Amino acid sequence: MSPHVPSRLPLRYAISLLVAASFVPTVQAADLLAISQDALNHSASLNSSRSTFRSTEAAQGVARGALLPQISATGSVYHTRTIESQEYDTGDADFGSDTDTETEAGAGNGTQVGGGAAVGAGGAGGLGGGSDDNYNGGSLGVSVSQALFDATNWYQYEQSKQQVGQQALQLEIDQQQLLYDVSSAYFEILRASEVLEARQAQEKAIARQQEQAQEQFNVGIVAITDVNEAQAAFDSARAQRIAAKNELQVSFEALERLTGQQYDSIEGLADDLPIEPPMPASRTEWVDLAMESSPSIQFAQQAVELSRTDVDIARAGYLPTLSAYGDYTYSNNDQEQLRGHNEGVEFGVQANLPIYTGGSTSASVRQNTYALEATQYDFEDQRRFTTQQVRSLYTQVANDVETVQAQREAIVSNRSALEATRAGYEVGTRNIVDVLDAEQSLYEAISDYADARYTYVTDLLELRQQAGTLNLDVLRSVNEWLRDEESVELDMPDEGMSAIDDIGERPTPPTL
């Protein structure tokens, strides 16, 4: 007897299912802005740049310390034990003396006090007496100095402030580079996804063509060569689809490396994204913007200032130094007959004038002068490079606008050509090779159109980066054209699944 199965669930089970369903999290695709924030927070390279900046800031405090008062203190505590013994011989008129002195020093700078020899007055013609002396002592010293004039330390402090500014520019360069790399990786995923869709559609279309050729061959309408041509085209389309799927999976890995986060899906780009020339609409204006805003140019210019300060530091080796100082010393002990303390204070001004340093100062000046000259050439090279990059990217973006339009029209043209070729094949004026070529051309045009759209977006962002204006506000404006309903998901094969399992079986070629 089979168990009874209720036709409907009890009310309490239905309520439980509804409650459980309400707690199931809704998975939403990540967008460009959220992923960029993840990159700014978790990028290992950017965090390294931030730590380097903080280290440079701390170095400024080190350089400033050399200009401020220097205070030091010293102290010592010690114990001294003196043992003396004397012998007196009246017959030979010889005097003998042995003296042992032991000093036990405490913490700080120890001071050894030695005991002197003494002649003990015993009886006439008798032996001398011995004496022991033990005492404790200590000393304390405080020194204060203040640089009044030290050009080397002053220029080093000024250079440390310049280095902080330069490192801040390097941090800005790294941040803009990261934003561009993340955007490029993001749109590479979308590009790979659209190419994969085109390859999948191509494979299905050629598979249908191959099946049709097989059916026509079975009834004797076409020759075996048509079937073989269709089979070869199908194998090629299948290989292209496999490569496109692999590229999509790998592109997700690149995004994960930049952000330290894993994403199962990202939002797709809207079809109605406006493809417009860059604004401002002049190469000269973009170059002027880059000369003013590019952190790379500013970094190279700061390097010139740093090298100029290096020359000043080297020339400071010719100059005198002047400092004020003050010393206080105090010492005390409890030795018998010498009990008491000593105290002293000294203050004054000390000057030092280098007269001859073996030629090292003049050599250092020459060395840093040539280094300054090199940074000036580097600055000019950076200006020329940025100008060339901005001009080239502006031209490229302008051409991308026309390329996208041309590729869109190419899809329409190739679709019409395919329909005409298929019609000709059905009436016998075209062969299977013509149809397969038309199929290939159509899906190549679809793939090229996807390439053109995403190339336009990444070139526009790179133009912003070279001009020094790529930031989250720019990405926020691009993010507005992303759609969750067109999201791209990461479709990884299951563990242990081979590539052959994933792509399915190859159709069996026809036999004669």
State the sign of the Cα–Cα–Cα–Cα dihedral 59, 60, 61, 63: positive
The answer on 390 and 472 residing in a single domain is yes
Which residue, 128, 149, 170, sits at the end of a domain?
149
Q: Which residue has the higher pLDDT, 508 or 450?
A: 450
Evaluate whether 467 touches 286 at the Cβ level (below 8 Å): yes
Q: For 428-450, what is the mean pLDDT?
A: 88
Whether the per-residue pLDDT at 462 is higher than 90: the answer is yes
pLDDT category, 457, cuts 50, 70, 90? very high
The reported pLDDT for the residue numbered 148 is 94
Full-model pTM: 0.78
347 lies in some domain: no
Show the domain range for 272: 32-64+152-305+362-503
The reported pLDDT for the residue numbered 402 is 94
Q: Closest Cα to residue 331, out of 110, 30, 150, 54?
A: 110
C-alpha to C-alpha distance for 321 and 332, rounded to whole angstroms: 36
C-alpha to C-alpha distance for 506 and 242, rounded to whole angstroms: 13
The answer on 244 and 232 residing in a single domain is yes
Evaluate whether 39 touches 183 at the Cβ level (below 8 Å): no
**Where residue 297 sits, what CATH number does that domain have?**
1.20.1600.10
The answer on 271 and 171 residing in a single domain is yes
The reported pLDDT for the residue numbered 10 is 47
DSSP letter assigned to residue 222:
S
Give residue-wise pLDDT tens across range 201-259. 888 888 888 887 788 788 877 778 878 888 888 898 899 899 999 999 899 998 999 99
pLDDT category, 291, cuts 50, 70, 90? very high
Whether the per-residue pLDDT at 500 is higher than 50: the answer is no
Give residue-wise pLDDT tens across range 293-328. 999 999 999 999 999 999 999 999 999 999 999 999
Q: Closest Cα to residue 395, out of 478, 460, 453?
A: 460
The answer on 228 and 377 residing in a single domain is yes
Three-state SS sequence of 251-266: HHHHHHHHHCCCCCEE
Which of 11-25, 235-249, 311-325, 421-435: highest mean pLDDT? Answer: 311-325
The reported pLDDT for the residue numbered 187 is 95
Give residue-wise pLDDT tens across range 60-112. 999 999 999 999 999 999 888 877 666 655 555 454 444 454 444 444 443 34
The reported pLDDT for the residue numbered 83 is 72
* Integer CA distances (angstroms), 439 to 203, 356, 424, 426, 504, in order: 10, 85, 14, 15, 22
Q: How many domains does the chain have?
A: 2
Three-state SS sequence of 186-211: HHHHHHHHHHHHHHHHHHHHHHHHHH
Which residue, 120, 149, 178, sits at the end of a domain?
149
C-alpha to C-alpha distance for 371 and 482, rounded to whole angstroms: 49
Whether the per-residue pLDDT at 505 is higher than 80: the answer is no
What are the residues facing 346 on neighbouring strands? 327
C-alpha to C-alpha distance for 464 and 105, rounded to whole angstroms: 71
8 lies in some domain: no
100 lies in some domain: yes
Q: For 401-427, what is the mean pLDDT?
A: 92
Calculate the CA dihedral of residues 449, 455, 457, 461 and round it to 10 degrees. 180
Q: For 403-409, what is the mean pLDDT?
A: 94
Whether the per-residue pLDDT at 434 is higher than 90: the answer is no
The answer on 91 and 58 residing in a single domain is no
The answer on 163 and 90 residing in a single domain is no
511 lies in some domain: no
389 lies in some domain: yes
Residue found by looking up tokens 């239905």 in the block: 14
329 lies in some domain: no
Three-state SS sequence of 464-506: HHHHCCCCHHHHHHHHCCEEEEEEEECCCCCCCCCHHHHHCCC
The reported pLDDT for the residue numbered 29 is 81
pLDDT category, 336, cuts 50, 70, 90? low
Q: Closest Cα to residue 265, out of 490, 483, 25, 32?
A: 490
Give residue-wise pLDDT tens across range 165-187. 999 999 999 999 999 999 999 99
The answer on 270 and 251 residing in a single domain is yes
Q: Which residue has the higher pLDDT, 91 or 362?
A: 362
In whole numbers, what is the pLDDT of the chain averaged over residues?
A: 82
C-alpha to C-alpha distance for 177 and 179, rounded to whole angstroms: 5
The answer on 129 and 222 residing in a single domain is no
Q: How many residues in the chain?
A: 512
52 φ/ψ sector (left φ>0, alpha ψ -120 to 50, else beta): alpha
The reported pLDDT for the residue numbered 382 is 97
269 lies in some domain: yes
Which residue, 149, 184, 214, sits at the end of a domain?
149
Whether the per-residue pLDDT at 48 is higher than 60: the answer is yes
The answer on 208 and 112 residing in a single domain is no
The answer on 205 and 264 residing in a single domain is yes
Q: For 336-356, what is the mean pLDDT?
A: 85
The reported pLDDT for the residue numbered 47 is 95
The answer on 284 and 163 residing in a single domain is yes
393 lies in some domain: yes
Identity of residue 115: G
The answer on 156 and 114 residing in a single domain is no
The reported pLDDT for the residue numbered 217 is 81
